[in-house]
Amino acid sequence: MTSRSDFAGGNQTYLRDVQYGDGAKLDVRTALHQRFSSAMVAFPDFAASLIDWTDDTRALDCGTGTGRFWDNRYVHKASSLTLTDLSPGMVQEAVSRARRNGFEHVTGRECDVQHLPYDDDSFDVVIANHMLYHVPDPDRAVVELARVLRPEGTLVAATNGYGHMGAMNDAIAEVFGSHAEALYEVFGIDTGEARLREQFTRVAWHAYDNDLFVSDPQAAVAYGLSFPPGETATDAQAVEFAAAIRSRFVDGQMRIRTRTGAFVCQAKRHP
């Protein structure tokens, strides 16, 4: 049985082999955002727009997942991409996706963000989106992200904060108990900035304005059952959770407020 701590900076074996062994569970959650977002731009476009790209940018994407970040119009196709993840299945999916999107200079590697196998000052851009709350030692990870970044480079680190996906988390808590706080305590909007300022002199938060207006109850149920604690729900709990979701629909919709965005970090302290 999986637990909240497995998901939030705990069990790396579970994250590598079960939760992110392939893109299936992540795709369920991504689909909810893609289908029901009210944002003017998709998140990958939003995050990429925070970076000054050139045609020779060397970029490292840590915790790349299925590589959806590279579904955007801002990055020069001549950029050199290094896509890494704890899960070899994710690396394979991400590299294939980037190449389908027209990137020619793409490499992938299975590795731990706490121990990056790259030389100091190797990359112009380092990306760590929605992944530092999965890391056992986020401070060590931030040190590594800064180490491999060039002195004039940019780190983008996306995360969420207290209140993110509030209506969804309330439904989960009603059936399974509270869970979301663990992620934000490890690395969230309110806790991540201090960690980043240990390594960077310039840290700016950019909020992503986006609420979800969900019209498909089953999509919301699938989201909640795709990660701990809902991931190991009994049949009875799944039925109870579906009822909790349906009870939150008003006039055919469930509104889910989000609190997410990205830190942009520059001028590392130890160049």
- Render each residue's pLDDT in the chain as its tens digit; 271 residues: 555 567 776 688 888 888 898 989 999 999 999 999 999 999 999 999 999 999 899 999 999 999 999 998 889 888 999 999 999 999 999 999 999 999 999 999 999 999 999 999 999 999 999 999 999 999 999 999 999 999 999 999 999 999 999 999 999 999 998 765 678 889 999 899 999 999 999 999 999 999 999 999 999 999 999 999 999 999 999 999 999 999 999 999 999 999 999 999 999 998 6
* Angular region, 9: left φ>0, alpha ψ -120 to 50, beta rest: left
22: which 2 tokens? 């392939």
Amino acid 183: pLDDT: 81
Structure tokens at 138: 């986020």
Read off the amino acid at residue 64: T
Going by C-beta distance under 8 Å and a sequence separation of 6 or more, which residues neighbour residue 99? 106
What is the number of structural domains in the chain? 1
Half-sphere exposure of 84 (CA within 13 A, CB side): 20
Give the three-state DSSP class for 228: coil
> For residue 260, what are the β-bridge partners?
160, 208
What is the Cα–Cα distance from 223 to 214, expressed in whole angstroms?
11
Closest residue by Cα to residue 51 from 198, 266, 202: 266
Beta bridge partners of 149: 123
> Within the chain, how many helices (H) and strands (E) appear?
11, 9
Domain that holds residue 185: 4-268
CB atoms within 10 A of CB 202: 12
> CB-based burial of residue 71 (10 Å sphere; 0-12 exposed, 13-18 middle, 19+ buried)?
middle
CATH number at residue 85: 3.40.50.150
Other CB atoms within 10 Å distance of the CB of residue 13: 10
Residues 8/186, Cβ–Cβ less than 8 Å: yes
Report the distance separating Cα 170 and Cα 28, nearest Å.
19
Identity at 17, one-letter amino acid code: D
Cα diameter, the chain: 55
